[in-house]
Amino acid sequence: MMEIMKNNRSANFAKRYSTTRRQSDLDSLLNQMPPAFESFFIEEPKLLFAGNFTGVDPKVGIEQYGPFSKSKPIIRIGIIGSGDGINTFRAYLDNARRPIRPGLNARGKHYDPLVIPDFPGVDEVTAFRTNFVTDTSLQRSIPEKRFEIAVKSDNVTAKLRNVIELVIKELEVLADSEPEPDVVVVIMPPIVERECAGVGTAFRNTKLILTPPQRFERKLLKRRHKTGQEFFPFDFSDASVDGEQGYWNFHHALKAHAMKFDLPTQLVWEGRLGQGRTQDPASVAWNLFTALYYKAGNIPWQLQHISPNTCYVGISFYKESPLGGAGMQTSLAQVFSGAGEGLVLKGGRAIVDKKRDLQPHLDDQGAERLLQQAIALYEQHNHNKPSRVVVHKTSRYWPEELSGFKRALEDIYLYDFLTLEKLDARFMRIAKEPPIRGTVIALAHRHYAVYTVGYIPYFRAYPGMRIPIPLEIVEHHGDSPAEQICRELIALTKVNWNSCAFASSEPITIQFARTVGRILTEMPMGVPPQTKYKFYM
């Protein structure tokens, strides 16, 4: 049983109250107890590693057993950067063959080795059980002077575009090499980080200035709104003056423009290599090599138990640009089977009806078409049709959306449609530590608070700095029991292969769908979006 805690002064107040009021009034006051809620607990989901050995911590599992999918003996790393940047990353690869320790925390003390373990080093018998190698044929050097010239412009859009064009030219060369690299590290010098890394908020309140052709094309978009046609309104590659679209964020623009070469990339800032702003050196190494291993076409770990033959769909929305007056949002879906990597699907136009709410939604036909495409994509990659579909969304379901989704299911009778939000309330546990990760609190019928973050018994600690905020299941349409949908929710926080973290605060469905949307905002004309998530991370 969980209770909301109230101020202890109420007891003292009751004593004073009894001296001036009738006993019956006091009894009435004391009967107004804090509301009580039923709760249950979800055990920490287990992960599968090499040999089908299990564990709950990705770092421990990879070190002890090795990753789930066996990689080829070497992973070929391409490198693009300045001469100094390439040398720095090559030296880092060599150093990473030996253990990397976390060092001391901000208070000058050693980290808890269970929460922040050493990175054991990486080679054919340690950690990922493969060698990450590079050679001169996989390295493309860009003179430092060219970076300095590229960021000289006062126009932040031009800065981003100039640097990305330098990188894309070299990426094209690597894509034509034989054999091509498995993954490309783009290591950017300090001057690019200083001038470009923080770009992304400068345009938020900028008024979008459209040329007459662009205004005409915007009118055409509005007319075609209900058709669900997939195209972007402007060619980002020609942006050259303030207010034009494209190049809003360095990471997102790089991913979008690199997509046509079918080579996954890893962005690294030279000045932070080996020591992140908020991470210790060991955690930086764990996260970097996990991402490189995954982007090279391997699976670091899998969930041991997930509902079989279930298609998990994350639906999010994104704007055509981050500008205040940007056009209508577009929906996208992230499809997961629970056993394989995510697949990206771009949907049709979304609707924002300010009279009903301020959130984007799909109309009847748009919802039907999107879920039909998601099911077809699942069937294409898994060679069978799902027997159950689970949809995670961050906005409420309009009746039209529910009607369209249900029609798309056809002969699939099992489904669960969930709306997930952050809960604007806090629960306290009668203990020194916050609620345990995996705690589920029933707020009302089909309405739950799910602690995806919190005290972790495995660590004997809460590895956070603030009061944990639970996810809220605001809506649930479907027949699966609460324990099942909450167990799946917790499990899907443990398959973010962009890092080696114990878990994320959100399920992979919502987290990756949102990230993908930010990159699709930057997509240039004529470049079809990749369907695999490794090109977006």
Which tens digit of pLDDT belongs to each residue from 22-39?
456 545 644 665 677 899
DSSP 442-486: EEETTEEEE-SSSBBTTTTB---SS----EEEEEEEESS-HHHHH
Query: By the 8 A CB rule, do 255 and 262 touch?
Result: no
Q: Encode pLDDT of 375-384 as tens digits.
A: 999 999 888 9
List, in order, residues 6 or more apart from 63 with CB less than 8 Å away. Answer: 117, 120, 126, 127
Q: Tell me the average pLDDT across 158-177.
A: 96
pTM above 0.75, yes or no: yes
User: 316 pairs with which residues across the strands?
Assistant: 332
Q: Encode pLDDT of 230-279 as tens digits.
A: 322 222 222 333 334 478 889 999 999 999 999 999 999 998 887 666 78
Q: Tell me the average pLDDT across 64-74.
A: 92
Which sign does the torsion angle of CA 431, 434, 440, 446 carry? Answer: positive
List, in order, residues 6 or more apart from 526 with CB less than 8 Å away. Answer: 235
Kindly list the distances between the CA atom of residue 239 and the CA atoms of 158, 209, 512, in Å, as whole numbers in the listed order: 8, 12, 28
Of 150-154, 171-175, 302-306, 339-343, highest mean pLDDT? 171-175
